[in-house]
């Protein structure tokens, strides 16, 4: 099954529809047979000029291919939810009902929609793996077998593994008839990874190579206000206070509200974007309205990084990390950064003290001290040469 995504945009000032899909030679040849289709080197995808009639003809042409699913920009999450509902239908009746009751239990605990989706996905897989067993017979051994299978099958990261354990613990509390002891399900230790941070120059390069106005506005707002991608796609037009230059973030992570800054330099870009796209409710919307998709944000940001020749592993959250680090490097106090980011604990914000370049650059390597001492004593420093490798250029590139 090929998932084809259609995205509205502009190519050289002309409204068009971009067509994204995982590489498939036969489908590509089928698509090329559509009249007027062109390849965009800068965007790395096919496109056609936009019109209502042409868009309907394009849809019909795409759906003429066997085994294809058509989604619109901003609707990838809806497509994912539909697929999850279809997988849920494969469960036996008793386990399907159990999963529905568990969903009601989580809703009653007022968990966010994203947490709800993640936990239900894990428990659905757990019940699917043990679909031949009576739910009351599920025990610690059932949990162990599922965790081992899931981590190996899906290659879960440690953070996802911890979420999986949390879902199982909640399920055990919800369904005490089973023989699962939630206290005996252990989480792996949390990883202490330092965040990937872009330099200010790299952020500027990303903005410069991003031609699509909507995409540029999204990247600029993510960086200039330190938003999470979920906060961005939930951001409504009523959240903008241009007079006070503030953004009102409602029900952020942990169901917390906060205010964050609205940069002077981004306001003209946001107003130009609004005039061009005329969103109705949300700051950024899909082709057919409604919330935009986080998947789309990650996809075009990855493409912008490729065009900007940035080899770091960059996600929308990297822009938030970069925002916090650059604030710290410019002298902003940790307490202010904690408030702007919406962190509950100052320890969470303090991780940025480990990645700010100013302090790290001031620390001298003992090898540099050794070479300087050796040179000052009048000795020949050529004796300390380690080879004839290429010297990095002014941008620290080899």
Residue of 291, 298, 317, 356 with catalytic role: 317
Contact between 277 and 214 (Cβ < 8 Å): yes
Ranges 69-73, 90-94, 220-224, 361-365: which has the least confidence: 361-365
Percent of the chain whose pLDDT exceeds 90: 26
Classify 192 in phi/psi space as left (phi over 0), alpha (psi -120 to 50) or beta. beta
Which one of 95, 170, 320, 321 is the catalytic residue?
320
Cβ count near 216 (within 10 Å): 21
Average pLDDT over residues 73-102: 65
Q: Which domains does the chain have, with CATH numbers?
A: 2-72 (3.40.1170), 80-184 (1.10.150.130), 200-357 (1.10.443.10)
pLDDT of 209 strictly over 90: yes
Average of per-residue pLDDT across 95-120: 88
pLDDT category at 398 given cuts 50, 70, 90 is very low
Mean pLDDT throughout 226-251? 89
Q: Is 32 a residue whose pLDDT tops 90?
A: no
- Output the average pLDDT for the chain: 82
253 annotated active-site: yes
CA-closest candidate to residue 196, choices 27, 341, 313, 349: 313
pLDDT of residue 79: 44
Query: Active site includes 320?
Result: yes
pLDDT tens sequence across 298-353: 888 989 999 999 999 899 999 999 988 888 888 888 888 888 888 877 777 777 77
Closest CA to 74 of 360, 378, 350, 287: 287
Name the token pair of 51. Answer: 């019109």
Comparing 83-92, 262-271, 272-281, the range with the smallest average pLDDT is 83-92
Active-site entry in 20, 124, 205, 228: 228
Mean pLDDT lowest among 115-124, 349-358, 363-372, 378-387:
378-387
Which stretches within 6-112 are classed as H helix? 25-32, 52-63, 76-88, 93-108
How confident is residue 355, by pLDDT bands cut at 50, 70 and 90?
Answer: low
Question: For residues 47-77, b (16+ Cβ closer than 10 Å) or e, as one string?
Answer: bbebeeebbeebeebbeeeeebebbbbbbbb
Task: Specify the pLDDT at position 304.
Answer: 92
Q: Are 210 and 304 in contact (CB under 8 A)?
A: yes
Q: Are 245 and 281 in contact (CB under 8 A)?
A: no
Among the listed residues 248, 250, 253, 291, the single catalytic one is: 253
Query: Could you tell me if 343 and 245 are in contact, meaning their C-beta atoms sit under 8 angstroms apart?
Result: no
Place 169 in a pLDDT band, splitting at 50, 70 and 90: very high
Q: Is 343 an active-site residue?
A: yes
Q: Residue 14: pLDDT above 60?
A: yes
Confidence bin at 391 (pLDDT 50/70/90): very low
Annotated active-site residue 352? The verdict is yes
Query: Taking 50 as the threshold, does the pLDDT of residue 217 lie above it?
Result: yes
Beta-carbon contacts of residue 136 (< 8 Å; ≥ 6 apart): 177, 178, 179
Supply the pLDDT for residue 206: 94
- Catalytic residue flag (residue 358): no
Report the DSSP beta bridge partners of residue 71.
Answer: 5
pTM of the model: 0.63
CA separation (Å) from 198 to 40, 77, 229, 352? 27, 28, 17, 13
- The whole-angstrom separation of Cα 5 and Cα 19 is 6
């Amino acid at each position: 099954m090929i998932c084809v995504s259609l995205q509205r945009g502009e190519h050289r000032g002309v409204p068009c529809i971009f067509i994204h899909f995982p590489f498939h030679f036969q489908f590509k040849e089928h698509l090329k047979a559509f009249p007027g289709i062109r390849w965009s080197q800068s965007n790395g995808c096919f496109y056609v000029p936009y019109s209502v009639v042409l868009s309907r003809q394009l849809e019909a042409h795409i759906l003429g291919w066997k085994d294809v699913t058509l989604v619109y920009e901003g609707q990838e999450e809806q497509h994912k939810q539909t697929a999850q509902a279809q997988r849920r239908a494969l469960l036996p009746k008793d386990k399907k009902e159990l999963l529905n009751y568990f969903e009601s239990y989580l809703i009653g605990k007022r968990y966010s929609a994203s947490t709800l989706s993640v936990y239900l996905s894990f428990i659905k897989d757990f019940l699917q793996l043990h679909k031949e067993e009576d739910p009351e017979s599920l025990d610690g051994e059932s949990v162990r077998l599922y965790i081992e299978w899931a981590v190996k099958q899906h290659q879960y990261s440690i953070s996802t593994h911890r979420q999986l354990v949390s879902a199982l613990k909640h399920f055990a509390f919800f369904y005490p008839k089973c023989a699962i002891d939630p206290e005996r399900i252990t989480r792996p230790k949390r990883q202490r990874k330092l965040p990937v941070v872009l330099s200010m120059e790299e952020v500027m390069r990303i903005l410069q190579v991003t031609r699509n106005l909507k995409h540029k506005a999204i990247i600029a707002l993510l960086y200039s206000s330190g938003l999470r991608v979920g906060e961005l796609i939930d951001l409504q037009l009523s959240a903008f206070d241009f007079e006070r230059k503030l953004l009102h973030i409602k029900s952020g992570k942990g169901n917390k509200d906060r205010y964050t800054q609205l940069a002077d330099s981004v306001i003209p870009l946001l107003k130009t974007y609004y005039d061009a796209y005329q969103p109705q409710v949300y700051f950024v919307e899909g082709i057919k309205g409604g919330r935009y998709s986080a998947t789309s944000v990650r996809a075009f940001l990855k493409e912008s990084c490729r065009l900007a020749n940035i080899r770091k592993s960059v996600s929308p959250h990297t822009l938030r990390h970069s925002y916090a680090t650059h604030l710290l490097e410019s002298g902003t106090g940790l307490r202010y950064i904690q408030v702007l980011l919406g962190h509950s604990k100052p320890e969470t914000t303090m991780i940025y003290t480990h990645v700010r370049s100013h302090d790290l650059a001031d620390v001298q390597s003992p090898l540099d001290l050794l070479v300087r001492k050796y040179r000052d004593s009048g000795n020949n420093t050529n004796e300390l040469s380690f080879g004839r490798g290429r010297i990095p250029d002014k941008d620290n590139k080899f």
